[in-house]
Amino acid sequence: MEKLALKAAILIISDTAFQDPSTDKSAQILTDAFSKEGGDQWSISDRTIVPDDVIAVQREICRLSDGDDAVNLLITTGGTGFAVKDNTPEAVHPLLHRHAPGLVHGMLAASLEVTSFAMMSRPVAGVRNKTLIVTLPGSPKGAKENLLAILKLLPHACQQAAGGDSRALHAGGIRKLERDAGVTNKQPSQHAHHHHQHDHVHSHGGHVIPKAHTRPEDRPVSNDPQAGPSNRHRKSPYPIHSVNSALNLIYKNTPPPEASVVAVNTDLVGHTLAEDVTAGEAVPAFRASIVDGYAVIVSADAPSTPGVFSVASVSHAAAGEIPELQRGEVARITTGAPLPPGANAVIMVEDTLVKSTTADGKDETMVEILTGAVKPNENLREVGSDVNKGDVVLRRGEEITSVGGELGLLASVGVSRVSAYRKPIVGVLSTGDEIVSHDREEPLRLGEVRDSNRLTLMAAVRGWGYTAVDLGIAKDRSGSLEEHLRSALRSIDVIITSGGVSMGELDLLKPTIERAIGGTIHFGRVAMKPGKPTTFATVAHKPLSGDRNSARDRLIFSLPGNPASALVTANLFVLPTLQKMSGKPAPWGLPRMKVVLREDVRCDKDRAEYHRVGLKAGDDGRVWASTTGGQRSSKVSSLKGAQGLLCLPAKDGMIARGETIDALLMGSLQGL
């Protein structure tokens, strides 16, 4: 398109500048903008200053836009705000023959990128006769920004307004117009829900219309760290989930538990059985005496015979051969010792007397039985009377607890290996340039924060009965995070990170998971307090060939950095996942119970809150909850001495002291 010579006028509308023209900076700044950015097309033919007076403004507008000498473009500055004396729009509006809301929109959109105060501007734009009129704000900076936002398109607009042939103008399509004007075509933004495109945009002339091969929902929604802070999202693109919906997403994406055969020993504590266990042997495995006394032979019709008998043998609780008992003999026996073959009852020592001893007087040779009432099977335990061989002693889904009962049972029935679910291995990683190890000796420098989360989270994981691996501290750099995560993914089932999930430009967890390690983020926000930015992702793990690890998804929980948030969300989301992965039957998570409030507590009107409380069992049989104090999510001390989390619903108002509500039990209960 050939360059046009266009005439522009600048009308300064300002009481102050009218009184003292030296106070006006806008006219010069705008003139400079036209000459620097206007592509040598503009001559400024008129610069006039008028007060904030509707009649004065309208008089100038008519002068500049009516008649043969009219300018192509009339720019006004000032009087577009909300102040009482701001009435430029009111002056200009009635004089416009045709309105140009697109230009208004363009200017506002550009200013809104800079400041929300752009909303306080009321620009108008339109055509009077053949003159395009645009009102700019009064501040020189704002005026220039607005002008630059539309300047490249103005020649085209002015030319058409002046009656240029629009068919000829559009001959090359919108792309040519854009090229001629020096503006770039705007790519529809990733997050815009509707893409309004001008009809001209589609060029069908034999060109293949570009087609994306991924669906929008499959593309990363995290920030591109390369794009710099000004391009980061200003609102999280992740939909907000309720706690329950977040838990469902976790459960849906948690790999099923894996069974393996393991030895029965104390390492089995905390594991869940993957198969029913049957007794390999009977308990007891032999007929055993339950008293100290004398094994005898009695028959059902003839109970024990009182009288004097010779002591034929001795049976202690020890392994070995015992000679068969004959009628007329007794055998001395101790508690738990096997009965000699042939014997079928035991007379307790209290019902006997010693009649004769060996020469040294140490051993008995004859005893007298004093009772005639002992019947067959009296004072003994039959083979298998506790557990029969082949009985199911423990069922699939039952847990081996540290109370010891299950281990003892397995041991007693001769089971030395069982099929149990593997417990996931958990890694704990802290993130942040400011985070330093808790035990670093030097004092903190300005901005440094001691790493409390790693210690707290590892302790919690171990307390739940899982192996916690220390993954150290990663820097707020994509490379550092990627390296830490990649190496952890090789051997660790569940990675817990803390920090770096908020909206700051250094919050790189989400982008690193999505863009660098190819993970899938299932949720990135939860409607809860504390813990809103809690993020859950899975990463497909492909084991190297020959690796015994199976291909199962790795889980990543990226918890917020604030210490209270990190621990609360770990209890709420990580614990139940670990339980599910290790084959425990539902319900998973912290046990829920009813507690009575010792003081009033205020709820958050938008988010369910988990309020840290101490719990004590009262002598009224109820459990009483008292707050641990300020609940700010950064407050480390709100967790000291917290045995529970009150489940406060999202509502406007208080829950009064004395009321009963749900709490999750984190520690153990204390007595009053």
Could you list the residues that contact ligand AMP (CB under 6 A)?
A: 430, 432, 434-435, 449, 451-454, 498-502, 504, 560-563, 634
Selection from ligand AMP, Mg ion, none that 188 binds (CB < 5 to 8 A by kind) is none
Q: Based on CB atoms, which residue is closest to ligand AMP, 135 or 562? A: 562
Indicate the SS3 state at residue 534.
coil
Selection from ligand AMP, Mg ion, none that 65 binds (CB < 5 to 8 A by kind) is none
Nearest alpha-carbon partner for 327 in 298, 359, 356: 298
Q: Are strands 288-289 and 293-296 parallel, antiparallel or unpaired?
A: unpaired
Of 97-105, 341-349, 499-507, 508-516: span binding Mg ion (CB under 5 A): 499-507
Q: Based on CB atoms, which residue is closest to ligand AMP, 636 or 647? A: 636
What is the closest distance, in whole angstroms, from the C-beta atom of residue 217 to ligand AMP in the complex? 26
> Given its phi and psi angles, is residue 272 left (phi above 0), alpha (psi -120 to 50 degrees) or beta?
beta
Should residue 432 be labelled a site residue for Mg ion when binding is judged by CB under 5 A? yes
Strands (E), 540-630: 554-559, 592-597, 601-602, 608-617, 623-627
Distance of alpha carbon 366 from alpha carbon 284, whole angstroms: 30
Selection from ligand AMP, Mg ion, none that 563 binds (CB < 5 to 8 A by kind) is ligand AMP
Q: Based on CB atoms, which residue is closest to ligand AMP, 264 or 455? A: 455
What is the closest distance, in whole angstroms, from the C-beta atom of residue 120 to ligand AMP in the complex? 32
What is the closest distance, in whole angstroms, from the C-beta atom of residue 247 to ligand AMP in the complex? 22
Q: Which residue among 220, 427, 499, 511 contacts Mg ion (CB under 5 A)?
A: 499
Using a 10 angstrom Cβ sphere, with 0-12 exposed, 13-18 middle and 19 or more buried, the burial of residue 19 is: exposed
Query: Angle between the 101-114 and 140-150 helix axes, to the nearest 10 degrees?
Result: 130
Indicate the SS3 state at residue 612.
strand
What is the closest distance, in whole angstroms, from the C-beta atom of residue 600 to ligand AMP in the complex? 29
What is the closest distance, in whole angstroms, from the C-beta atom of residue 557 to Mg ion in the complex? 16
Should residue 511 be labelled a site residue for Mg ion when binding is judged by CB under 5 A? no
Selection from Mg ion, ligand AMP, none that 430 binds (CB < 5 to 8 A by kind) is ligand AMP
How many DSSP H helices and E strands does the chain contain? 16, 35
Q: Based on CB atoms, which residue is closest to ligand AMP, 454 or 522? A: 454
What is the closest distance, in whole angstroms, from the C-beta atom of residue 96 to ligand AMP in the complex? 50
Contact track, Mg ion, 454-493, x by CB under 5 A: ----------------------------------------
Selection from Mg ion, ligand AMP, none that 293 binds (CB < 5 to 8 A by kind) is none
Question: What part of residues 240-269 is at the interface with Mg ion (CB under 5 A)?
Answer: none
Q: Based on CB atoms, which residue is closest to ligand AMP, 159 or 562? A: 562
Residue nearest to Mg ion (CB): 432
Tallying the residues shown for the chain, one arrives at 672
Selection from ligand AMP, Mg ion, none that 435 binds (CB < 5 to 8 A by kind) is ligand AMP
What is the closest distance, in whole angstroms, from the C-beta atom of residue 432 to Mg ion in the complex? 4
What is the closest distance, in whole angstroms, from the C-beta atom of residue 508 to Mg ion in the complex? 9
Name residues whose C-beta falls within 8 Å of residue 359's C-beta, 6 or more positions apart in sequence: none
Residue nearest to ligand AMP (CB): 561
Q: Are 371 and 306 in contact (CB under 8 A)?
A: yes
Q: Are strands 608-617 and 644-648 parallel, antiparallel or unpaired?
A: antiparallel
The kind and range of the H/E element at 470 are strand 468-474
What is the closest distance, in whole angstroms, from the C-beta atom of residue 581 to ligand AMP in the complex? 24
Q: Based on CB atoms, which residue is closest to ligand AMP, 498 or 582? A: 498
Q: Based on CB atoms, which residue is closest to Mg ion, 107 or 501? A: 501
Count Cβ neighbours within 10 Å for each residue of 565-598 and write b for 16 or more, e otherwise: bbbbbbbbbbbbbbbbbbbbeeebbbeeeebbbb
Cα 69–chain centre separation: 67
Q: Are 310 and 294 in contact (CB under 8 A)?
A: no
How many residues interact with Mg ion (rule CB under 5 A)?
3
Should residue 500 be labelled a site residue for Mg ion when binding is judged by CB under 5 A? yes
SS (H, E, C) 28-90: HHHHHHHHHHCCCCEEEEEEEEECCCHHHHHHHHHHHHCCCCCCCEEEEECCCCCCCCCCHHH
Task: Give the interface with Mg ion as residue ranges (CB under 5 A).
Answer: 432, 499-500
